[in-house]
Structure 1
């Protein structure tokens, strides 16, 4: 029942727009700060690996292995992906463009930060992002998705009709 309200109620769409704008601003601001501030993730990644030891590690060993084996050797890629990913997720949420997809990408980044031993605003953002994701299109009705999603659906259906095999008897 709660999911239905999130997905269909017009008043909830206004609340979800406020949530979407708030989370979008958080991502946009964080990303822009990293883009313009000479961001380097190597210290963060190495710090996360150090949190994987001890009696109660803040970082699970499997995640530390991923960071050591993949993220740290490819830190230059992450130095581009992180700031631009944050910025683009924020922009997408603010504009309401591909809202479900950018929200999912925001969730992935939030979980990556939490897996790396940080808390900060990540749990709060995750909770709000889950509401946005469950709401689906209702979270984007007041945004560019209002026009983009129906257009894309129409294009996909039109392409499907063109490619459908015709059977003659």
Structure 2
């Protein structure tokens, strides 16, 4: 029975690892394309404001905040996506990256940009629901494991033991 539980744990680790790396790679590519492709949020502002599917409070946010600070959002959105992607790809602060990934996907859904964002949101939620596994498969955890396994007690040369 114990062997069966170990197999289940390994399968969970593999699934969460694949979701983490896949989600990280996907959002990194999205951010990189925006960063290098001349992304601007200026065209999205009127679309969201006139959209019938977005909530009123979200439209007001776009009208009164985003519309007046598009320069900041033109920088924050791509850099945020790149940072989230790198965090998930390398396993650095994965839980925080997953939280902000979910936040970004919710904003895209509220903007009525459906595409693949619900699937990405579901993956970020799965990551957020598994903090212990995320911690165990993090870069820090892997470095500590390798360091622990690689250490050995080095005895000094007998002539130098005085």
Is TM-score (shorter-chain normalized) higher than 0.5? yes
Q: CA offset at residue 48 of structure 1? A: 1.0
**1:72 aligned counterpart, secondary structure:** helix
What is the count of residue pairs matched by the alignment? Answer: 139
**2:129 aligned counterpart, secondary structure:** helix
Query: Which residue of structure 2 aligns with residue 73 of structure 1?
Result: 68
Q: Larger relative contact order (C-alpha < 8 A, sep ≥ 6)? A: 1
Supply the distance in 1 between the matched residues of 2:143 and 2:57 (Cα, whole angstroms). Answer: 40
Query: Which residue of structure 1 aligns with residue 116 of structure 2?
Result: 121
Query: Which residue of structure 2 aligns with residue 152 of structure 1?
Result: none
What does 1:124-139 align with in structure 2 at a 5 Å threshold? 124-139=119-134
1:135-165 deviations in whole A, cap 9, x for unaligned? 013024233141689xxxxxxxxxxxxxxxx
What does 1:6-21 align with in structure 2 at a 5 Å threshold? 9-21=9-21
What does 1:84-99 align with in structure 2 at a 5 Å threshold? 84-99=79-94
**2:97 aligned counterpart, secondary structure:** helix
* Unaligned segments of structure 2, at least 5 residues: 145-162
Q: Which has the larger radius of gyration?
A: 2
Moved over 6 A (4+): none
Give the CA RMSD over aligned residues.
2.1
**1:41 aligned counterpart, secondary structure:** coil
Supply the distance in 2 between the matched residues of 1:98 and 1:61 (Cα, whole angstroms). Answer: 33
* Unaligned segments of structure 1, at least 5 residues: 52-56, 150-169
What does 1:55-74 align with in structure 2 at a 5 Å threshold? 57-74=52-69
Supply the distance in 2 between the matched residues of 1:121 and 1:136 (Cα, whole angstroms). Answer: 24
TM-score (ref. length: structure 1):
0.76
Supply the distance in 1 between the matched residues of 2:110 and 2:9 (Cα, whole angstroms). Answer: 34
Query: Which residue of structure 1 aligns with residue 105 of structure 2?
Result: 110
1:21-47 deviations in whole A, cap 9, x for unaligned? 111111100000011111111101221
